[in-house]
């Protein structure tokens, strides 16, 4: 591994240690453009990582990011998630 790569990894590791408040979040996509695979959810280490992922999914049109690690079976009650106050970010196009 080159010195440049090692230096980059050390800077990244240093930043990760300085931000221990980063908490896992769950990205829930419940609306799609053109295709309808249903409601899907993934856990990410941070809001930033979840936002990066949802931007990559160009056909996701209705989604939200909620606090913590959540597992969902079947349909997700989006209104209930909103009522509990755990929604950090939401997009409805």
Residue 74: name the closest of 29, 33, 40, 42 by CA: 40
pTM equals: 0.71
pLDDT of residue 8: 62
Q: What sign does the CA torsion over 42, 45, 51, 57 have?
A: negative
Residue 58: CB partners within 8 Å, gap ≥ 6?
A: 33
Exposure string of 2-21, with b = 16+ CB inside 10 Å and e = fewer, is: eeeeeeeeeeeeeeeeeeee
pLDDT at 22 over 80: no
Rounded mean pLDDT of 81-91? 90
């Amino acid at each position: 591994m080159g010195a440049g790569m090692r230096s980059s990894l050390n800077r990244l590791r240093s930043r990760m240690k300085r931000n221990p408040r980063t908490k896992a979040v769950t990205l829930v996509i419940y609306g799609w453009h053109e295709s309808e695979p249903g409601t899907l959810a993934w856990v990410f280490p941070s809001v930033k990582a979840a936002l990066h992922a949802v931007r990559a999914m160009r056909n996701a049109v209705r989604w939200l990011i909620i606090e913590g690690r959540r597992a969902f079976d079947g349909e997700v009650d989006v209104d209930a998630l909103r009522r509990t106050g755990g929604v950090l970010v939401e997009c409805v196009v």
